[in-house]
Every structure is written in structure tokens, then in C-alpha cells.
Chain A
């Protein structure tokens, strides 16, 4: 792999950029691998990357039904934070966030991690108490967050109306090292690094069946033929239920539509990410200048990647109330993704009833920020066959036992 750098660009510029090599190879599948990962989104690619990097397992195929990074990795609002209340969540999201800090250097691909700071507004006394609880918890979890008052909120976000009247801002949970990254670049950077380790990324290849013998996985049938494998990792987000069905088990997961939108670009006006859960809206400004806005989730199963318009309206109402100056900006584009929601809205990284078959799903609305941590934990699970501490609490049997990891208990329910 040729390294990327400003010198490489200068060198290539002199020959009209004719000398750049492919960022990743597109090979035909081999007959078998040590590990097959289904799903070349951020989580699947990160799993493969850390299998190679942390465990030296590189005889790996990552199989993707569409194009890599084309699912929720390329459809989210790119928020990165780890200010979670519950210990298992804080652990994995903070692991992810800390990996994001060095990800560009690690991958030699600029994923534009921008720790610009993230605010979760408290607009009711109930929310104040919930976020204070989170700050106390984060202090013990090694996650750096702080509680700030309304004046500081206004200082960080001058365009915000903090005076209400309906929901005056009472303060905010502030994570100074939260922020955003360029979502596509995360997938592409991991893909390039995986490919450089000799892994096969096989796009346009849909899994049509899972084969097993004696309760242990042996391979997958795909639209490009049968591929044998010693271990199988299913990392397919909204389509987890379909692949799990092929592997013979059912999940506590439902697939719902989640929507987002961007405005036309304007000059920089907001240098932090703002989440307002009372009124249901969150917003940041991309490096291009677009206001990136996330909305609510539909309440019914939907695989169309199209959502219900009332959520867009609801979000924009809330944000105009919070940021009155955006009223005359225009919605440039709206889109939807299929999010996989579990019974407690927390993810699953787990062994399954099928031997050597592992699943990573249920990230719901919060997946992007978790990608490096999720891949790290999933790689450990796949490599060792048993979960490490990051994944342990996220096993799929916790629902039966009642051991929920419920983040909605803090006021911040949105991810």
C-alpha cells in the first residue's frame, strides 16, 4: 500500500494523478477463509481490521451485498460521543472515541475526526438531574464530560436561543472531545487497511444461506457461490434478522426507519454538535457548511430506507425553536436508513446458538460513533470465541435474564 501524504499528492500532481493505485482490491472470493464477515459497513470492516491488527488473522473475507460503507455507515449524522450512563455503554463508546482520536494516523487515511465538542441540552429539571447523573457516572468511568450552565452554552453556540420561552436551556452535558468524523472515510479507510493486509472485500455479493454441521458453522452460500469458513461474523445492522434466520435463530431486534437531512451549505456558524432531546432534534455543521440534522425513528418495521415525513417536520420545528436563524435555510436532501433496535436499545455483540457464529447488531441510532470500539470488541470475540470485557455485557441472552443496558434512563434518550 502506498502511503498517503502531502508529498504523495505533490508527486502525483506532477503526473496528473495518473499513478494512484486502488484504495482496495476487488477480488473474486476464495473457496474458504478462516473468518468470513458478512457486511462491509463500518462495523464489519472494523471487525476485520482489528482481527488482523490485534490477532494476526488476515485470511478474512468481508462480504457485502451492495457497496462497502453503503448502509448506515454512509447515512448517519456522524456524531461521535461516549457520554453514556451505563458502564458497559460508556466502556465501548469511550473505547471507540479514543480509537477515533488516532484513527487517521492508524489507517493512514484522514477520517477527519473533529473533536469539536458535543452538547446535550437540558431543558427540563428532570433532564438536568439525568445529565448530572451521567457526569458523575462518566467521572468514575474515565469518560471526560462536564456539566455547564446556560451562559457557557450560549458562549459555545452563539446562534442558539437559550431563553425559551417554552424550553429555556438550563444547562448542558458537555463532552469537549466529542464531535464528528467523515462517515464515508471511516469505511474507506478501514477497507483500504484491510485490503492492504490481504483481506478480501467482496462487494455485490449477497449471502443467501448459512451452512453448518453438528451445530457449528461451515460456510455461507452467496450470489458468488459457496464460501467455506471456520468462523462467521454477522455484522449487517438492519438485515440481522434475515441473516440470523438463515443461521437458524431469532433476535430481539426490529428494523425501523431513521431519517436525517442536510441544509444547503452556509458559512461556518456552529462549531459544536448540539443535541436537544426534550424537543427531539440534533444538529451540527459539516465542514462543507451544511447543517446536518437528525430526526426521530418510526415506530414500525420498515426496510425501504424511507421514513415518515412527520419526523422531519417535528425535528425542524424543534430546531427552529432552538435556533431561530435557521428558519430561512433550506432542506437540501433528506434520507433514511434502516436501524436495528433491540429490546433495550443497546447493541448485541454475542455468541449465538450456532457454534463459531457471532453476531454484532442492534446499534440502533447510535452505531457510527461506536465503529472502532465495536470492531475491536467483535474481533476479540471472533478471534477468541469468547467475549472480552468490552463485549461481555452485550450478549444476546441478557433479555431473558432481565439484565438490561438501558440508556434511556438518563434523560438523553436519543443516540
Chain B
């Protein structure tokens, strides 16, 4: 039963107020793109056992999508940030590096 702080309204929302939305920072590939790219966008998933970046919507709340950095093995949350970002913010990356020295990084 996760708690994630919505970066838009500041509410420490509990899981039942949120809707999960899968892996974050996927790049959309549209018409004409190579099959592999489209497949990677739609289907291939990192599914890491460890640090993961994912999408959440504060569905029973302000309705905004946001992103979270979370460990899928311990459920520790490293931070949340707005959806309008193309890669994890530096401060969250630094925090993860400090807590998970063997983390291989976002890519």
C-alpha cells in the first residue's frame, strides 16, 4: 500500500487515490518508424528488480500525471516529479546513487 507524494498538489496520496501507468520516459514512435522502435515503445519493458521509473496519476485527487522513482524490490520511494520531463531529474538520480551504489543508472 504505497504512499506517493503528488508533486502538483503536495498531497501524500495513498495508493488507492492513485492510478498506475507503467514505465516512464518511453519515447513515442509514430508512423513510418522502424518495427523495432515501435515494438520497444509499445511492448519491451525494463521491468527491473530494483530502481524503476514509472508513471502515476493522482486519479482521486488533482488528476495530474506524475512520475516516481521507486525500488520494485523494497518499494522504497526515492522521489516523485512532474510528468513533463524527459528523463529523471538530477537530484533524484543523485539520491538513488547514494542509496544504491551498485545501481547501473537510468539508461
> Quick one: which of B47, B49, B52 has the most chain A CB within 10 A?
B47
A304 touches B43 (CB 8 A): no
Chain B min CB distance to A302 (Å): 6
Chain A min CB distance to B18 (Å): 9
CB-CB under 8 A from B49, the residues of chain A are 239, 241-242, 255, 303
The residue that A253 contacts in the complex, of B35, B38, B47, with Cβ under 8 A, is B47
The residue that B52 contacts in the complex, of A250, A252, A301, with Cβ under 8 A, is A301
- Output the nearest chain B residue to A239 by Cβ-Cβ distance: B49
B15 touches A253 (CB 8 A): no
Interface string of A177-215 (1 = CB under 8 A from B): 000000000000000000000000000000000000000
- Output the nearest chain A residue to B22 by Cβ-Cβ distance: A254
A304 to B49, CA, bound (A): 9
Q: Check A27 for interface membership: any CB of B closer than 8 A.
A: no
Given contacts A301-B54, A400-B35, A400-B39, contact A254 B73 (CB under 8 A): no
Q: Check A223 for interface membership: any CB of B closer than 8 A.
A: no
Within 8 A of A (CB), among B50-64: 52, 54
The residue that B15 contacts in the complex, of A250, A255, A310, with Cβ under 8 A, is A310
A308 touches B36 (CB 8 A): no
The residue that A304 contacts in the complex, of B44, B47, B75, with Cβ under 8 A, is B75
CB-CB under 8 A from A301, the residues of chain B are 47-48, 52, 54, 72
The residue that B45 contacts in the complex, of A239, A241, A302, A304, with Cβ under 8 A, is A241
The residue that A251 contacts in the complex, of B22, B44, B72, with Cβ under 8 A, is B44
Q: Check B1 for interface membership: any CB of A closer than 8 A.
A: yes
Chain B min CB distance to A347 (Å): 14
A343 touches B47 (CB 8 A): no
A241 touches B48 (CB 8 A): yes
A399 touches B42 (CB 8 A): yes
Q: Check A335 for interface membership: any CB of B closer than 8 A.
A: no
Q: Check B89 for interface membership: any CB of A closer than 8 A.
A: no
CB-CB under 8 A from A239, the residues of chain B are 49
B74 touches A304 (CB 8 A): yes
- Output the nearest chain B residue to A302 by Cβ-Cβ distance: B72
Q: Check A7 for interface membership: any CB of B closer than 8 A.
A: no
Q: Check B99 for interface membership: any CB of A closer than 8 A.
A: no
CB-CB under 8 A from B54, the residues of chain A are 300-301
Besides the contacts A239-B49, A254-B45, A299-B21, what 5 more A-B pairs have beta carbons closer than 8 Å?
A: A241-B49, A254-B23, A299-B20, A400-B36, A400-B38
Which positions in A face B, CB cutoff 8 Å? 239, 241-242, 250-255, 298-304, 308-310, 343, 399-400
